[in-house]
Chain A
Amino acid sequence: MSLLTVRGLSIQTRTGAGLVRDLSLDVREGEVVGIVGESGSGKTMTALSLLGLLPDGVHVSAGEAELSGQRFLDGPRLLMRPNATMIFQNPTAALNPTMRIGAQLVRLLRFLDRSADSNGRRRNGDRHDRAAALLSSVGIDDPAAVLGRYPHQLSGGMNQRVMIAMAIAARPSLLIADEPTTGLDVTVQAQILGLIRATVAEHGIGVLFVSHDMGVIAQLCQRVAVMYDGEIREFAGVDDVFHRPRDGYTRELLAAASDQPLPEEVADGTRTG
């Protein structure tokens, strides 16, 4: 059954320029759906619009979205806050540079406790333990030390683990990831992708994963939407997209992603193998 359903989503600037046109897609429970495309294709705008995070001067002009059967987006209006969280491209910038990791996590947990309005007031000491447990759950070996650090004292990979811990603390049913491994070293990227896979397996959440990297998409996603110039050119299972692409732009992306020489290069004699 569908977890997230987006129908006819259009995003415009104030001047009426269309950034995304008539986009429809869905994410099932426990599924990772990729959005792949180049800069300016509208993939990040699509992700931001679902959480009401579009920048000033950009708005949803049409379309609707449902999460777990509840409509939360109706054209320009965000009807309710969906049970979804997001992780971003630059984790170090997404964290508060003036607060220790522990303080940021405790603050988040206090906010979540209040909005859940559950078993009364909890003490901060307890939240500190829960923060440490969260960090262990994302594979941080020494949570006590990390809780006492500032974001600038940690590596990008470590900060992205902290972001993922914060994202799953809210027990979302959908995680939106906008290029979460771009800018990380490949060995760290492999670890973060492994963590996202494990998170999906453990919590059964759906993931909408925005990326420009065909390798990451191939290995992480079950289905993928190929975007170009604000439109979905192809939306299908990864095996179909990678082995039976129906769209010319998809084929171009695949050719660029393979490290083999392009046919015209070989024909030119400039590079052969």
Chain B
Amino acid sequence: MELVLADIEVVYGKRRRNHAVRGVTLRVRRGETLAVVGESGSGKTTIAKVAAGLQRATSGTVTWRVAGDDGAAGPQRVHMVFQHPVQSLDPSWRIRRSVKEPLRHLGVADDEADRLVRRLITDVGLDPEILDRYPREVSGGQAQRVAVARALVADPQIVVLDEPTASLDQTVRGRILALLADLQQRTGVGYLMITHDISSVRRLATRIAVMYRGLIVENGPAAAVLDDPRHPYTQALISAVPVADPRVAWDGVVALPRHPDGTLAVTSCPVPGPCHEHGPGLHEVGPDHVAGCTKADDPQKAATP
């Protein structure tokens, strides 16, 4: 079972059209984690909202595809974990009600729902005693565990994680990532993880898609993208992360030449062969690994003369 986003375009605004996402195609498989990495304004959060059904794409399709061998289709559900854990819980509801809410919508009987809620709360490493508390009475790390329990309680196929650890302390961050990996192992859920921090994805991601100004510029297996990035923007993003070792000399500023409007003006193209032959778009640069040509015309500029 996989969630397929095909040729997604999202345009905000009527008069001043802001092309947030410009033709993005992604697949999220069960049991896998696709990390979408990008900086502010790259369109990554818009992709998360479209995948979770919280926002309609201007054009393009979101569909489910059943792969041959994974048997029953199961419920085609997507749930979401948000960046600010405490704010994503209703402050006037006890934790129990928040975690139970997805089941209530699905019409699950009350005693069955209670049983599931208790099981999930234990699965995410919390004491069921927390169910009677309010969000203000729990820490950020606990609230994020509650949010993970709520996302998984209705047995979804895919969970969208929007910067799930950005607002947490570093030691808590590691534990949440370990928890997410463990739950994936047990339930086979697929994750679409949105993050601005490419250094945090190695622990969880199976695939990485790098977004820049509404476009995917590189997409491939996590190890290939991290260890052998092909697109100059991916390379800049990785080298900008300070190395947590004082013995390693680091100067993260990679001078990416830019046009006056801010778009990249790099001269080295990651795609083998001359640019005028392979043209715009994504091209194979390794096994299951694609990168965008850097010299080909910007589709947005081509569309609006």
Contacts and interface: CB of A to CB of B under 8 A. Distances in A.
Interface of A: 38-39, 185-191, 193-194, 212-216, 218-220, 238-239, 242-243, 252-262, 264-265, 268-271
A194 B253 contact: yes
A256 B170 contact: yes
B75 interface: no
B173 A259 contact: no
12 contacts: A38-B169, A186-B252, A187-B39, A193-B252, A218-B242, A218-B246, A238-B246, A242-B247, A253-B171, A259-B199, A259-B202, A269-B185
Contact of B200 (A219, A255, A259, A268): A259
A38 B237 contact: no
Contacts of A258: 244
Interface in B247-265: 247-248, 250-254, 256
Contacts of A243: 247
A139 B98 CA distance: 49
Contacts of A269: 185
Interface in B128-184: 169-174, 178, 181-182
B196 interface: yes
Given A185-B39, A252-B171, A216 B182 contact: no
B174 A218 contact: no
Contacts, number: 106
B244 A242 contact: yes
Nearest to B252: A190
B21 interface: no
Q: Is the interface of A mostly helix, strand, loop or mixed?
A: helix
B224 interface: no
A264 B174 CA distance: 11
Nearest to A259: B202
Given A193-B252, A259-B202, A186 B181 contact: no
A187 B236 contact: yes
Interface in B38-97: 39-40
Contact of A271 (B173, B197, B203): B203
B242 A216 contact: yes
Contacts of A265: 178, 181, 203
A239 B40 CA distance: 33
Interface of B: 39-40, 169-174, 178, 181-182, 185, 196-200, 202-204, 236-237, 240-248, 250-254, 256
Contacts of A38: 169-172
Contacts of A187: 39, 236-237, 240, 252, 254, 256
A258 B241 CA distance: 12
Contacts of B199: 215, 259
A185 B236 CA distance: 12
- CB-based closest 7 A-B pairs: A190-B252, A215-B242, A185-B39, A38-B169, A238-B246, A186-B240, A190-B240
A189 B246 CA distance: 17
B2 to A, nearest CB: 22
Contacts of B40: 185
A253 B169 CA distance: 10
Nearest to B250: A219
Given A187-B237, A259-B199, A193 B174 contact: no
B244 A190 contact: no
A12 B283 CA distance: 60
Nearest to A221: B246
B237 A215 contact: no
B241 A239 contact: no
Contact of A256 (B171, B245, B247, B254): B171
A255 to B, nearest CB: 7
A199 to B, nearest CB: 14
Nearest to A254: B244
A270 B172 CA distance: 18
Nearest to B186: A270
A212 B245 contact: no
A40 to B, nearest CB: 9
Contacts of B241: 186, 215
Contacts of A189: 240, 242, 252
**Most B Cβ at <10 Å: residue of A186, A214, A216, A262:** A186
Contacts of B39: 185-188
B262 to A, nearest CB: 10
A242 B246 contact: yes
A253 B197 CA distance: 18
Q: Which one of A185, A220, A242, A262 has the greatest number of beta carbons of chain B within 10 Å?
A: A185
Most buried by A among B197, B202, B236, B252: B252
B181 A214 contact: no
A255 B203 CA distance: 12
A190 B178 contact: no
A257 B244 contact: yes
